[in-house]
Amino acid sequence: MRIVPFGAAREVTGSCHLLLAGSRRVLLDCGMFQGKEEARNHAPFGFDPKEVDAVLLTHAHLDHVGRLPKLFREGYRGPVYATRATALLMEIVLEDALKVMDEPFFSPEDVEEALGHLRPLEYGEWLRLGALSLAFGQAGHLPGSAFVVAQGEGRTLVYSGDLGNREKDVLPDPSPPPLADLVLAEGTYGDRPHRPYRETVQEFLEILGRTLSQGGKVLIPTFAVERAQEILYVLYTHGHRLPRAPIYLDSPMAGRVLSLYPRLVRYFSEEVQAYFLQGKNPFRPAGLEVVEHAEASKALNREPGPMVVLAGSGMLTGGRILHHLKHGLSDPRNALVFVGYQPRGGLGAEIIARPPAVRILGEEVPLRASVHTLGGFSGHAGQDELLDWLQGEPRVVLVHGEEEKLLALGKLLALRGQEVSLARFGEGVPV
């Protein structure tokens, strides 16, 4: 048995790993390359999709499911296994991706074909493919997110998918993995632990309280899946501590995910489930309005504060948030709050450096609003959590991280006596 990475090798996006066991070929994730690597989505996979027997998807983020329609476009017709939550979220994610892609590499028909081959596989259920057995464990990263356990030929492989931040409230903590012959593990934040979540929430509430009290707008770039809803949960559970102000979810995609959440109750933490059992939806704080149409979004820029605006894209690569920043960054009463990762070289990183002005949508905008970065909201496990999760595993191959972050994590694993290496694209690793 061996595993061959065809994406996310010394990089964060494009997760796609081919598991070879006897005559069986199983694909673990089929993700899109994002950012500066986007052109690679048009390149061949590195293997023949027609020869793959099955696909297992760990969760619904684009960098783990975004090339699945391309797989079907190029001839794959087998089953796609995922939790029910992943399947429902993935439909929203893929349909939205098709709308915003500059150069699509799949069609609506390819999406429909892929969705038609989905098969449910829930936590702890074993899937038998010849002599190979596969199961999902709880990863705590998105509703329904999973890691994969594969057993065959007397060997055990664990693939982490993306592991969640165990300090957060909305999702269950990641389950510990079984002892394996090899763990293919993510290392997105392999170089550092996160700031404690409770401290992060406290700072967030202080920023909101201060800004809203002076009639300002709180602008929050958010990812449409998970992060936007998590911020709404914080506003629901702590709203009594804040000045009254309207909350605008200015993202149709995030609104669709929000509408889906009541169907996913069993995938949330016990705390969140308890709210739903009482007939309450903890993702809909008082004063929430979902902004559907672009004209209504533009109208918010003409409205006075106080208000809270959550809008995409989370990394400022496009979307409605850019219009809010163009109109709002020049007002010193306003606050910009980053609750997600901002890549190097991007607009977010430029704003965080606090220049006198930034160029947004072709216009120089004075930067007078306060700017805050709250890393504790990350949906990924921090360095300390990764080390805990990998405790006792004899062999680890690291993926899904910038090379220097994987090297930092690898160094600590090696100091504990664990055998560790970094994956290389297309190079098989024996299990």
Q: Tell me the pLDDT tens digit for each residue of 144-186.
A: 999 999 999 999 999 999 999 999 999 999 999 999 999 999 9
Mean pLDDT of the chain: 96
- For 120-145, b/e burial (b = at least 16 CB within 10 A) is ebebeeebebeebebbbbbbbbbbbb
Query: pLDDT exceeding 70 applies to what percent of the chain?
Result: 100
Measured CA to CA, the distance from residue 84 to residue 377 in angstroms comes to 25
Instruction: Give pLDDT, residue 344.
Output: 76
User: pTM to 2 decimals?
Assistant: 0.95
Q: What's the token pair of residue 191?
A: 């170089």
Q: Which residues pair with 120 in a beta bridge?
A: 82
Q: For 32-53, how does the pLDDT look when each residue is reduced to its tens digit (9 = 90+)?
A: 998 888 999 999 999 999 999 9
Domain coordinates in residue numbering, the chain: 2-192+379-430, 197-377
**pLDDT average, residue stretch 399-424:** 97
| Per-residue pLDDT, 345 | 84
Report phi then psi at 148, rounded to 5: -115, 135
Closest by Cα among 362, 307, 385, 373 to 340: 373
| CATH architecture, domain 2-192+379-430 | 4-Layer Sandwich (3.60)
Q: CA-to-CA distance for 357 and 363, rounded, in angstroms?
A: 10
Fold exhibited by the domain 197-377: Rossmann fold (3.40.50)
Lowest mean pLDDT among 48-57, 65-74, 99-108, 390-399: 99-108
Q: Residue 102's pLDDT is what? A: 85
Question: Which residues, listed in sequence order, are joined to residue 310 by a DSSP beta bridge?
Answer: 220, 249
Sequence-distant (≥ 6) Cβ neighbours of residue 296 within 8 angstroms: none
Distance CA 177, CA 180 (A): 8
DSSP label of 149: E
Q: What does the chain come to in residues?
A: 431
Which amino acid is located at 423 in the chain? Answer: A
- Determine the 3-state secondary structure of 219 from DSSP: strand
- pLDDT above 90 (res 58): yes
